[in-house]
Amino acid sequence: MAKNLTGEQKTAILLRAIGEEAAAQVLKQLDPKEIKKLGASMNGTAQISRDEEDAVILDFKAASAAGDVQFQGKEYIKSVLIKALGPDKAARIIESMTRKSYPGLETLRWVDAKSIAQMMKIEHPQTVAVILAHLESDQAGQVLAALPEFMRGDVALRLATMEDVQPDVLEELSQSLQETLLASKGLGGQSIGGAEVMAGILTRMDKANEGGIMAKIAEKSQTLADAIRALMFVFDDLIKVDDRGIQELMKEISKDDLPLALRGANPDVKEKFFKNMSSRAAEMLKEDMEAKGPVRVSDVEKAQQNLLKVCRKLEEEGRIVIAGAGEQLV
């Protein structure tokens, strides 16, 4: 009966059969990808019969008796690797198997690629390359694809030419990542706060209050302040909205808010809006901006916040996409 089960299903059944403590020791030896697969198999085999469980255990015992299940230790592994790959390659692989673990880097294997890319936007390309080198290839590829386009080539080049990294550098990086992950996600319990929530609050505040709060946070933890800044969506970030998204945004915003908001925008953002209008509409908008004369900074910021509220609403509805999200408009 066990012959009809996959290897993952058999493993899942065996882990349940050996008990929680023993199963935990086995799972410690696996990487996140393997654990996720096993978790799905354990869930899918929850209703397995006692006869099927006994059959799996008998299969394991038979394989063990036949020598198909190996229990030899490090010397056996070393001997096999040397015979298969030669002493040089074997030494490199053995070194990678026994190298020191860095908790912050290891924890990233459990974080989704989009969140990692968001964190990495404020990091130096060399730091990003080191982090990618410690991820599984498929996860690293997803993170690289989700990074801003201007970063990808530099990060890829540094990753391709990377050699040794000093342990103290890895230790410091690991510690910094642990602080950032703790600030962003928290450890255990219900997620009710964190850097992402704080970023959302700050983007809805006026500049003076936002600056004061960020200064206080930076005094306590520069790492946390950087994590919040990376998650904040400010008016200048509208440059990351594609042309179709800008056109969609202009359909929804107040015509009174747009000229006021653009008065305080950088030239690239202004041009982003102008190029998505007809020549006549762009000229009228420019004239409207000039005709208003001097305006209060608080009025400009209020108008910009009104545009950002509409932008966030449209993003939540899936009507616009901000560059770097790894999605396409349909």
Q: What is the DSSP string of 188-244?
A: SS----SHHHHHHHHTTS-HHHHHHHHHHHHHH-HHHHHHHHHH---GGGGGGB-HH
Identify the domain containing residue 290 by its residue range.
Answer: 235-316
CB 285 within 8 A of CB 258: yes
Residue 281 sits in a domain whose CATH number is 1.10.220.30
Assess whether 135 and 204 both reside in one domain.
Answer: yes
pLDDT tens track for 96-132: 555 556 777 777 877 888 888 888 887 888 888 888 8
pLDDT value for 190: 38
In one letter, which amino acid is 31?
Answer: D
Domain boundary among 209, 232, 255: 232
Nearest to 237 by CA among 312, 143, 292, 134: 312
Give the model's confidence band at 32: pLDDT under 50 very low, under 70 low, under 90 confident, else very high: low
Q: Rounded CA gap, 18 and 24, in Å? A: 10
Coil/strand/helix, residue 322: strand
pLDDT tens track for 33-71: 666 666 666 666 656 677 777 777 777 666 655 555 444
pLDDT value for 273: 94
Scored b (16 or more CB within 10 A) or e, 216-239 reads ebeeeeebbbbbbbbbbbebebbe
User: In this structure, what token pair is assigned to residue 19?
Assistant: 């008990």
Q: Rounded CA gap, 7 and 60, in Å? A: 11
Assess whether 188 and 205 both reside in one domain.
Answer: yes
Query: Model pTM greater than 0.75?
Result: no
Domain boundary among 15, 36, 65: 65
Look at residue 75 and tell me if it is in a domain: no
pLDDT value for 83: 62
Task: Provide the angle, in degrees to the nearest 10, between the axes of the packed helices 113-120 and 125-133.
Answer: 150
Q: Rounded CA gap, 138 and 116, in Å? A: 14
In one letter, which amino acid is 161?
Answer: T
Q: Rounded CA gap, 109 and 137, in Å? A: 11
Domain boundary among 202, 232, 262: 232
Look at residue 128 and tell me if it is in a domain: yes
Q: Rounded CA gap, 59 and 82, in Å? A: 31
User: In this structure, what token pair is assigned to residue 137?
Assistant: 């290839």
Look at residue 92 and tell me if it is in a domain: no
Q: Rounded CA gap, 311 and 246, in Å? A: 9
- Domain tally for the chain? 3
Contacts for 107-115 with beta carbons within 8 Å, 24 or more apart? 107/177, 107/178, 107/181, 108/134, 108/135, 108/177, 108/181, 109/31, 109/32, 109/135, 109/136, 109/139, 110/32, 111/181, 113/139, 113/142, 113/143, 113/145, 113/146, 114/146, 114/325, 114/326, 115/184
pLDDT tens track for 191-229: 435 676 677 777 666 767 777 788 888 888 887 777 777
pLDDT value for 63: 61
Look at residue 295 and tell me if it is in a domain: yes
Q: Which stretch of 137-141, 259-263, 276-280 has the lowest confidence by average pLDDT?
A: 137-141
